[in-house]
Chains A and B, each alone.
Chain A
Amino acid sequence: MSATAQKNTMYRRPQGHAALVFFLLLGVLPLAAGLVYAGLYSFGLIGYLRAGFTLQYWYITLTYKALWASLALSLGFAATVSAVSFFLALRCVIALHPHLKQRGVRFSLHLPLALPPLVAAFVSFQWLGGTGMLARGAHAIGLIQATDAFPVLVNDPYYIGVFVTLLLLNFPFILLLVLDQYDRAGIPEYVHLAATLGGNSAQIRRKVIQAILIHRVLPTLVLYTVFLFGAFEVPLLLGQQSPAMISVLISQKFSKFNLADVPVAYACVVLYAGVLLVLIACFWRWHFRQSPNSEHA
């Protein structure tokens, strides 16, 4: 037997236990340890204020109206931005599919990916603020005479500034995603088939294109909603102090000088992780419904 063949019989694929341990240690353990620490802190078992097991911080957290308002605001906001981005992207892809394939257009659609949220928030502040570029434009054409006549679009109670910024940041990404799925799913063939079978344009749009794309994009859209749920920089600069989005609220709780707020902040972290787990479970449910036998989808 030659040396190469002998070597080949020794080709053993490692079981991957070492890689799994490495992954668990550096990928999972830090967060798990952080959540256990947060849980213990929130029950008064560790930390500067420890005085034995207590549920008082959890009572404060669960009856803390601003937290529920913040959770509802963050979830509602994330879902709204995702849904609006998706339906706008869907309309754009259906109406403008050939134009979207042009190199220049594709490049401009990638541009917002080069804009970090902090810088996007800064630009929005400069454009939407009372002395911003939009107010200057309105003044130049005689719509307003003074800055206070311009509507409040930054740090406003309706989160208009945050919504516009997140939408402009996320819409191109969703559009590229929908466009990619449009090509991969072979939509034009289905459209031809539906037209041959007598479907009108509205039926083809609603029952063929929209149905296929929603089915294919939904898992990624859920995951995207999860990211938006934890958005920080944009609501920090353009949002309100109360109700604040969940990342901002938790960050505020940790940054305050009141030590009694720290266990409550940790309880909020545990609650946030719980909501996140539910959302990820939803994502998995949809994901495996689409490809039940394979993790490599």
Chain B
Amino acid sequence: MKKALFYSICALFALPFAYLALLSLATQWFYPALLPDGLTFVHWTGLHAGFFSALAYSGMLALTIGILSTLAGFLSAQYIAWHPWRRWALVLAYLPYAFSPVIYAHCIKFFFLVSNLAGQVTGVMLAQFILCYPFAFLLFFRHFDANLRAMEDLSATLGASRTATFFRVLLPVSKDALRLCFAQTFLISWFDYGLSSVIGLGQVRTLTVLTYQYIGEANTYLAAVTACMVCFPPLLLLWLNQRFVFRSETLQSETA
């Protein structure tokens, strides 16, 4: 009984994705029908240019933010993790990290308006960066612990230069943390609605902004199509992660 209940809860987590896919393929699905009248690809094939520009904006923003905040977080945390003021830096990083993105956006909107960055892709990119960077910093701050510092010291003792230590010791050891940070910051940017809508002034239409617009217009089928596209990259990342974890576990057990 317990097991059945638990597996049904697991199925419940997969249900939203199945429902969205079915809704995006439905010809008509009115109350009280439990299933759509028929299936069609017309909502997918009839997508207009606005959808593809939103997809491009979201993809470009998420990739850029993922790469930039991961690099900035890694490089700055590497030095600040052992700075005399590290505890203050850590405390200060928590506030932007915990602040609601939409309230943050309203707070800083004035500066974006006077610098002509509001309503521009570069403005949304900068706003998302200053939201994601403290997150990346916090993630790497914990990564650069005493063990990693000892490893860095050992590499220096053995005669490696700072560049060699960075590229041949720190980067390989931090591969998993870098991958995790990129995935997380990519998703923060990809999922963002509040910041993009406020700083973008409705002119930078990302996929989430477009989804909200379709929901507001009660355009259920197109909202389902964009929602499917919003969910696709994270699902792909999850699947890749699952595959990777499984492979590494298998390799470990084989070599053990």
Contact = CB atoms under 8 A, between A and B. Distances in A.
Interface residues of A, number: 89
Contact of B246 (A30, A103, A254): A103
Given A16-B80, A20-B85, A136 B34 contact: yes
A131 B31 contact: yes
Nearest to B104: A31
A209 interface: no
A280 B108 contact: no
Interface in A14-43: 14-20, 22-24, 26-28, 30-31, 33-35, 37-38
Contacts of B76: 19-20, 22-23
Most buried by B among A31, A112, A279: A31
B13 A277 contact: no
A11 B231 contact: no
Interface string B51-90: 0000000000000000000001001101111110111011
A26 B131 CA distance: 9
A277 B97 CA distance: 12
Contacts of B93: 23, 27-28
Interface string A196-240: 000000000000000000000000000100110111110001000
B16 A123 contact: yes
13 contacts: A7-B161, A20-B83, A20-B89, A27-B96, A37-B111, A109-B10, A116-B193, A116-B208, A117-B191, A229-B100, A247-B194, A273-B99, A280-B94
Main DSSP-derived SS at the A contact region = helix
Give 4 closest A-B pairs by Cβ, nearest first. A230-B100, A34-B107, A16-B79, A114-B234
A189 interface: no
B110 interface: yes
A122 B221 CA distance: 12
B154 to A, nearest CB: 12
A37 B107 contact: yes
A92 B79 CA distance: 41
B171 interface: no
Interface in A74-91: none
A254 B198 CA distance: 10
A77 to B, nearest CB: 14
Contact of A31 (B30, B108, B238): B108
Given A27-B92, A116-B190, A272-B100, 10 more contacts: A11-B156, A16-B80, A34-B104, A34-B110, A108-B13, A114-B238, A120-B16, A122-B215, A276-B95, A295-B87
A232 B83 contact: no
A117 B212 CA distance: 11
Contacts, number: 243
Interface of A: 4-5, 7-8, 11, 13-20, 22-24, 26-28, 30-31, 33-35, 37-38, 92, 95-96, 99, 103-105, 107-120, 122-123, 125-127, 131, 133, 135-137, 139-140, 147, 168, 172, 223, 226-227, 229-233, 237, 246-247, 250-251, 254, 265, 269, 272-273, 276-277, 279-280, 283-284, 295-297
Contact of B95 (A5, A140, A280): A280
B21 to A, nearest CB: 11
B170 to A, nearest CB: 12
Interface stretch (B39-47, B137-145, B172-180): B137-145
Given A108-B14, A123-B16, A31 B99 contact: yes
Contacts of A284: 91, 94
A107 B142 CA distance: 26
Interface in B171-207: 190-191, 193-194, 198
Interface of B, secondary structure class, is: helix
B142 A296 contact: yes
Contacts of A96: 2-3, 6
Nearest to B102: A232
B87 to A, nearest CB: 6
Contacts of A15: 79, 83
B75 A19 contact: yes
A51 to B, nearest CB: 18
A27 B230 contact: no
B171 to A, nearest CB: 17
B194 A233 contact: yes
Contacts of B3: 96, 99
Contact of A111 (B14, B95, B111, B142): B14
A116 B99 contact: no
A230 B99 CA distance: 7
B98 A113 contact: no
Interface in B99-118: 99-104, 106-108, 110-111
A28 B82 contact: no
